[in-house]
């Protein structure tokens, strides 16, 4: 079963090459034995920035486009690809992406719940950092719930990042999310300038973490503190595209600085973790979500679904979980949390 087969990727290109007569097209594709492996750092209107020879002295950024043979297959940030052509990384060069490796995870969203096109935002990330301000703007628990559902659906671990703790206490939110057992970290701008950034980085080491949050929650402040070198990269203008990275609407992968005291060349220094920044959004559409994947995030409740009707959403009157939990097999608070997450799939004003 291919779960993601028909999805429209964020950078999907819709014009198909015209069929030329009845000439049979060969199904054998060139092997590209000279191809180099690369990771996609950002996508900007069909131009993809790839990191080649990552972690070596020859590491460099190469701008590439999709080779025709990839057809409609999308390439997104975090994808591991094979590139051929001019891989020098010199200005005005353009390489070609000829293969995309199978993805270990796919974070998807729809612009809103009525949008039939779901977009793949990021591939191969392990963690989803949900950035939420404790005040200014007020926290939106339903939006957090929706992001959690997206994380569970994608098979990613959620991390709750609660910002602006100088303005309000984190206690009420942490109480509400306690039964879900989610990792969390609380930040404030003045601390991010000192020890706060490293405290957040500790949750990110060795992982690829996607940061999402709606406008104004302090995500930019946070990411800039986590990746101080970012300022430099955002000013960089690409010779091929003629555009600065600041114009990008796609996600952007940024490598964390190595942990303090890491030996140069050690695994810790070479794999310090990635922050994948995404554009702020107003809503997080979930029309593509399969509820049977959300229950996977509740292994303690899974056994209780055995007597459920076929294709039970676990949020309906006949669901077997109510009786099973009432018999004392699991905590009521866990079932309540599951139901709250499932209910967040329905659109309401303000989502």
* CB of 88 or CB of 292, closer to Zn ion: 292
Single out the residue of 203, 164, 211, 205 nearest to residue 186, CA to CA: 164
**Could you tell me whether strands 47-52 and 60-66 are parallel, antiparallel, or unpaired per DSSP bridges?**
antiparallel
* CB of 50 or CB of 192, closer to ligand GTP: 192
* CB of 164 or CB of 245, closer to ligand GTP: 164
Q: How far is the CB of 272 from ligand GTP (least distance, A)?
A: 22
From 67-75, 100-108, 163-171, 176-184, give the range in contact with ligand GTP by CB under 6 A: 163-171
* CB of 37 or CB of 300, closer to Zn ion: 300
- CB-based contacts of 128: which residues, under 8 Å, 6+ apart? 107, 147, 150, 151, 154, 156, 157, 158, 159, 209, 210, 212
Exactly one of 139, 213, 258, 285 binds ligand GTP (CB under 6 A); that residue is 213
Under 8 Å between Cβ of 96 and 34:
no
Q: How far is the CB of 10 from ligand GTP (least distance, A)?
A: 18
| 147 annotated ligand-binding residue | no
Q: How many CB atoms lie within 10 A of CB 230?
A: 19
Name the residues that contact Zn ion, by CB under 5 A: 308, 312, 314, 319
Single out the residue of 145, 55, 110 nearest to residue 343, CA to CA: 145
DSSP string of 100-112, one letter each residue: EPPPS-EEEEESS
* CB of 215 or CB of 266, closer to ligand GTP: 215
Q: Measured in Å, how far apart are the chain's first and last C-alpha atoms?
A: 31
Exactly one of 74, 218, 272, 304 binds ligand GTP (CB under 6 A); that residue is 218
- CB-based contacts of 106: which residues, under 8 Å, 6+ apart? 4, 120, 122, 123, 154
DSSP string of 119-182, one letter each residue: EEEEES--EEEEEEESSSSPP-HHHHHHHHHHHHHHT-EEEEEEE-TTTS-SHHHHHHHGGGT-
* CB of 152 or CB of 211, closer to Zn ion: 152
Both tokens of residue 190?
Answer: 């003045």
Where b means 16+ CB within 10 Å and e means fewer, 145-166 reads: bbbbbbbbbbebbbbbbbbbbe
| 209 annotated ligand-binding residue | no
Q: Say which entry of Zn ion, ligand GTP, none residue 314 contacts (CB below 5 to 8 A, set by partner kind).
A: Zn ion
Exactly one of 88, 215, 292, 332 binds ligand GTP (CB under 6 A); that residue is 215
Q: Say which entry of ligand GTP, Zn ion, none residue 291 contacts (CB below 5 to 8 A, set by partner kind).
A: none
Single out the residue of 14, 12, 10, 7 nearest to residue 116, CA to CA: 7
Q: Say which entry of Zn ion, ligand GTP, none residue 280 contacts (CB below 5 to 8 A, set by partner kind).
A: ligand GTP
Q: Say which entry of Zn ion, ligand GTP, none residue 103 contacts (CB below 5 to 8 A, set by partner kind).
A: none
Exactly one of 167, 239, 326, 343 binds ligand GTP (CB under 6 A); that residue is 167
Q: Say which entry of Zn ion, ligand GTP, none residue 66 contacts (CB below 5 to 8 A, set by partner kind).
A: none
* CB of 91 or CB of 235, closer to ligand GTP: 235
Q: How far is the CB of 13 from Zn ion (least distance, A)?
A: 41
Near ligand GTP in 224-283, by CB under 6 A? 280
* CB of 168 or CB of 320, closer to ligand GTP: 168
Q: Examine residue 164 and tell whether it contacts ligand GTP (CB under 6 A).
A: yes
Using left for φ > 0, alpha for ψ between -120 and 50, and beta otherwise, residue 92 falls in left
Both tokens of residue 172?
Answer: 């009420």
Which residues participate in the annotated binding site for GTP? 163-166, 213-221
Which residues participate in the annotated binding site? 163-166, 213-221, 308, 312, 314, 319
Which residues participate in the annotated binding site for Zn(2+)? 308, 312, 314, 319
Binding residues vs ligand GTP (CB under 6 A) = 163-164, 166-167, 188-189, 213, 215-221, 280
């Amino acid at each position: 079963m291919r779960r993601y087969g028909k999805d429209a990727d964020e950078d999907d290109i819709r014009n198909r090459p015209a069929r030329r007569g009845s000439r049979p097209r060969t199904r054998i594709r060139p092997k590209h034995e000279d191809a180099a492996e690369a990771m996609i750092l950002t996508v900007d209107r069909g131009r993809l920035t790839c990191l080649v020879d990552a972690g070596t002295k020859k590491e460099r950024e190469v701008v590439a486009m999709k080779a025709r043979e990839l057809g409609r297959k999308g390439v997104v940030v975090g994808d591991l690809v094979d590139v051929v052509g001019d891989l020098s990384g010199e200005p005005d060069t353009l390489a070609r992406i000829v293969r995309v490796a199978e993805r270990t995870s796919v974070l998807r969203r729809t612009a809103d719940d009525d949008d039939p096109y779901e977009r793949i935002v990021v591939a191969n990330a392990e963690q989803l950092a949900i950035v939420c301000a404790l005040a200014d703007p007020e926290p939106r628990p339903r939006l957090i719930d929706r992001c959690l559902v997206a994380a569970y659906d994608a098979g990613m671990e959620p991390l709750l990042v609660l910002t602006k703790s100088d303005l309000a206490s984190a206690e009420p939110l942490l109480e509400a999310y306690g039964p879900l057992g989610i990792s969390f970290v609380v930040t404030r701008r003045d601390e991010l300038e000192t020890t706060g950034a490293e405290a957040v980085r500790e949750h990110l080491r060795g992982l690829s973490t996607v940061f999402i949050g709606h406008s104004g929650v302090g995500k930019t402040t946070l990411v800039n503190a986590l990746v101080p070198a970012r300022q430099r990269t955002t000013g960089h203008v690409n010779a091929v595209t003629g555009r600065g990275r600041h114009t990008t609407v796609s996600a952007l992968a940024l490598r964390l600085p190595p942990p303090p005291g890491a030996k140069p060349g050690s695994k810790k220094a070479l794999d310090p973790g990635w922050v994948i920044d995404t554009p702020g959004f107003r809503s997080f559409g979930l029309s593509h979500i399969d509820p049977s994947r959300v229950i996977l995030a509740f292994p303690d409740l899974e056994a209780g679904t055995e007597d459920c009707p076929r294709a039970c959403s676990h949020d309906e009157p006949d669901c077997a979980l109510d009786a099973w939990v009432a018999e004392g097999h699991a905590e009521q608070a866990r079932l309540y949390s599951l139901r709250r997450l499932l209910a967040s799939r329905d659109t309401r004003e303000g989502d």
